[in-house]
A and B are shown apart, each in its own frame.
Chain A
Amino acid sequence: MSVLVYASSTDGKFKKSAFEVVSYGKKVAEQLGTNIIALTINADEATELQNYGAETIVTVSNDQLSVFNAKSYASVIKQVAESKGANVVIIDSSIDGLYVSPLVAVALEAGYASNVVAAPSNTSPFTVKRKAFSNKGFNNTVINTENKVIGLAKNSYGVHESAASASVESFDATITESGVASTNIEKATGKVTIADADVVVSGGRGLKGPENWGMVEELADILGAATACSKPVSDLGWRPHSEHVGQTGKPVASNLYIAIGISGAIQHLAGVNASKVKVVINTDPEAPFFKAADYGIVGDAFDVVPQLISKLKEFKAQNS
C-alpha cells in the first residue's frame, strides 16, 4: 500500500500544480500511515519534488512519451502503480490530467473522485470533498473500491514545502499503441495562460469595444496576469474564444480575479467562483457580481482602471 502521485511536467518543467499534488499526496500518505511515491515522465529536475515531501521519485524517460498521449500515459501510470503496490493515485486537474485520469481509473478498476478540494475527511470509509454543481455546491464522496484515483482541483490544497530526501529510481515502462497521434500543436508563446495564472484580469461588455482592451492588457502585464473575458465579449468577436471564462468557457481558479465591466451572470460566476479573491469594477451598484465579490469599486472603468494602473506601478516600484 502506497500513495502514487503523478507530477506532470511540460517541456520537462514542473508547474505549480505538480508541487500541489505532491504536497497533497504527502498529506494523504500521512493519514494512511504509508509512503508517497512521485512519478515523473520526461521531467528535467525530478529531485525538486523532494522539497514537497516525495519519499521515492520514479522517473520514466522515453522519447515515445515526448508529447502527451492519454492512453500511453495512463498505461505508464498503471504500470508504476502496480509495480509499486500503490492503491491511491493522485493526478492534477489540468486539461491533460482530466484526460488521463478516467483511463487510469478503468485500468486499475478504481473508484475515481475528481475536482477534490481537501484532504480526506476520513480514511475509512475513504471520504473526500469535491466540487459539484458548477461551483455552487460540494459533494462528500466515499470511494468504495480498494484502488482509488483522486483528481485534485487546481489551487485548492496549496503548495506546502516539506523537505525530505528522496530516493530516485528510473522505471522502464512498456509503451502501448495509442491510436491517437498528435499532428500539430499550436501554443501562444510568452503569454501567461488562464490555467496557470495566479492573477486573471477579465473584461466585459462594459468596456464598450475591443479598442479599449489596451488598459486591460496593461493592468494584466503589471500583475503578471492572464487576460480573460466574459461570454458576450467573445460572442461579439471582441476577444478570442480562448479568453472566454465561465460555465461553458474556461474555468478560473486563480488567487485573484479582477472583473472589469462584467455584471456577473450566474453562468459567468459558476466558472470563476473557484478564485480565491474577486475584485469587481462596475458602474452599476446593482450588478450581481458585487454579491459574489470580495472587493468592489462602483465606478467607471475608464476612470478607475488607468488610476489603478498608475498606482500599481508605484506600488510595484516600492515593493520589488
Chain B
Amino acid sequence: MKILVCISHVPDTTSKINFTENDTKFDTNGVQFVINPYDEFVLTRAMWFKEKQGASVTVVNVGNATTEPTLRKALAIGADDAIRVNADATDGFSVAKEIAAVVNSGGYDLVLAGKESSDYNGQMVPGMIAGLTDFNFVNGCVGMEIDGTNATATREIDGGSETVSTSLPLVVGGQKGIVEESDLRIPNMRGIMMARKKPLNVIEPANSENTTSSQSFEKPAPKGAVKLVDADNVDELINLLHNEAKVI
C-alpha cells in the first residue's frame, strides 16, 4: 500500500496571532511552526499501517522552503520520503489541485489528511483532492481499518457516529480518534538522525490558478471587561443573562 500524508505547516496552537503589512499578511515574527495538529493524528495512523500491514509513507506539503523543517519532523516521526511542491499555499482549491497532481503521478492508494488546518481552517483540501482524483472519500474520520482493498471507517456525525464501508483508492480527512492523543508519535534522536538522510524532493507546481485570494485580515473586536457577579448573588447573574444578554 502506498500512502500519501498531507502535512500542513501551521503556527503552534499557543501562538499569538498578529497581522502585518496593513493587515494583509500573517505576522510570522516570533511564531513557532509545527505540523498541523489534525495532520499529526493521521500521520501516526499511517505509521501503524506501515508497521502492522506494510506500507510506504510519503509526506507532502505545498509551500515554500520555510516549511521544510516541518517535513523533516514528519520524516523523523517515520515517513519514508517527503515531497514539497514549491508554491505558496494561499488558496485551498489550488493546494488540492497540486496535491491531486502528486497523487495521480505517484500512484497512491490512500491519501490521509487532517480534516482541517488550524491556521486557515478551510476544511476543504481533503474533499477537493477526492473530488479531483475521483477517489472514495471519508471525512471527519475517527477510526479506520484496511483489509486488502476494502476499508471500514467510522466518522463523526452530529450526536454520534456512522460506520461506512468503502474501498481503495481512498481519501480520508481525519481527526482525533483515528488515533488517540496519547498515541501520537514524537520524533526521537534516532528518527531525527535518520530523517536527515531521507529524500525530500522539491517539485515545481502545476501552477493552478487561485480561485480565491486573501484581501485582508482582522482581529476579533476587543472584548469588554468581564462583568463579575458576587458568588452570593446568582440572582444578578440570571438577571444579566435574561435582560442584558438576552440568552435565557
B-binding residues in A (CB < 8 A)? 10, 70-71, 74, 94-96, 98-99, 101-103, 105-107, 110-115, 127, 129, 131-145, 151, 178-188, 191, 193, 195-196, 198-199, 223, 235, 241-242, 247-249, 255-256, 266-267, 270, 273, 276-277, 279-280, 290-300, 303-304, 307-308, 311-312, 315, 319
The answer to whether B127 and A101 touch across the interface, beta carbons within 8 angstroms, is yes
Known: A112-B211, A134-B121. 19 other contacts (CB 8 A): A71-B137, A94-B158, A95-B140, A98-B123, A101-B124, A102-B124, A114-B121, A136-B17, A136-B219, A136-B220, A138-B218, A142-B213, A178-B136, A180-B138, A255-B247, A270-B13, A290-B228, A296-B226, A312-B238
A94 to B217, CA, bound (A): 25
- CB contact under 8 A between A199 and B161, given known A296-B228, A307-B234: no
* Contacts A/B (CB < 8 Å), 7 sampled: A102-B96, A136-B219, A138-B217, A185-B161, A294-B223, A296-B226, A308-B237
The answer to whether B13 and A247 touch across the interface, beta carbons within 8 angstroms, is yes
Is B159 in contact with chain A by the CB < 8 A criterion? Answer: yes
Which of chain B's residues have a CB closer than 8 A to the CB of A241?
176-177
Nearest first, the 8 A-B pairs at minimum CB distance are A102-B127, A299-B231, A106-B131, A111-B211, A187-B160, A193-B159, A256-B247, A179-B136
The answer to whether A96 and B119 touch across the interface, beta carbons within 8 angstroms, is no
A230 CB to nearest chain B CB (Å)? 13
- Chain A interface helix/strand/loop/mixed: mixed
Which of chain A's residues have a CB closer than 8 A to the CB of B140?
95, 98-99
A112 to B182, CA, bound (A): 34
A311 to B240, CA, bound (A): 13
| Contacts of B4-60 to chain A: CB distance below 8 A | 11, 13-14, 17, 19, 26, 37-38
Is B165 in contact with chain A by the CB < 8 A criterion? Answer: yes
The answer to whether B119 and A133 touch across the interface, beta carbons within 8 angstroms, is yes
Name which residue of chain B comes closest to A195, CB basis: B158
- CB contact under 8 A between A186 and B161, given known A103-B137, A142-B213, A235-B181: yes
The answer to whether A304 and B231 touch across the interface, beta carbons within 8 angstroms, is yes
The answer to whether B231 and A140 touch across the interface, beta carbons within 8 angstroms, is no
Interface size on B, residues (CB 8 A): 79
Which of chain A's residues have a CB closer than 8 A to the CB of B125?
102
Which of chain B's residues have a CB closer than 8 A to the CB of A179?
136, 166-167
The answer to whether B212 and A103 touch across the interface, beta carbons within 8 angstroms, is no
A-binding residues in B (CB < 8 A)? 11, 13-14, 17, 19, 26, 37-38, 91-93, 96, 115, 118-128, 130-132, 136-140, 152, 156-167, 175-177, 181-182, 210-220, 223-224, 226-231, 234-235, 237-238, 240-242, 245, 247-248
Which of chain A's residues have a CB closer than 8 A to the CB of B37?
247-248
A169 to B75, CA, bound (A): 55
A139 to B119, CA, bound (A): 11
The answer to whether B121 and A133 touch across the interface, beta carbons within 8 angstroms, is yes
B10 CB to nearest chain A CB (Å)? 9
The answer to whether B162 and A277 touch across the interface, beta carbons within 8 angstroms, is no
B12 CB to nearest chain A CB (Å)? 10
A300 to B234, CA, bound (A): 13
- Select one of B127, B162, B181, B217 contacting A139, CB under 8 A: B217
- CB contact under 8 A between A111 and B93, given known A136-B17, A180-B164, A247-B118: yes
A201 CB to nearest chain B CB (Å)? 12
Which of chain B's residues have a CB closer than 8 A to the CB of A144?
210-213
Which of chain B's residues have a CB closer than 8 A to the CB of A291?
223, 226
The answer to whether B247 and A141 touch across the interface, beta carbons within 8 angstroms, is no
Which of chain B's residues have a CB closer than 8 A to the CB of A184?
162-163
A77 CB to nearest chain B CB (Å)? 12
The answer to whether B212 and A115 touch across the interface, beta carbons within 8 angstroms, is no
Which of chain A's residues have a CB closer than 8 A to the CB of B136?
178-180
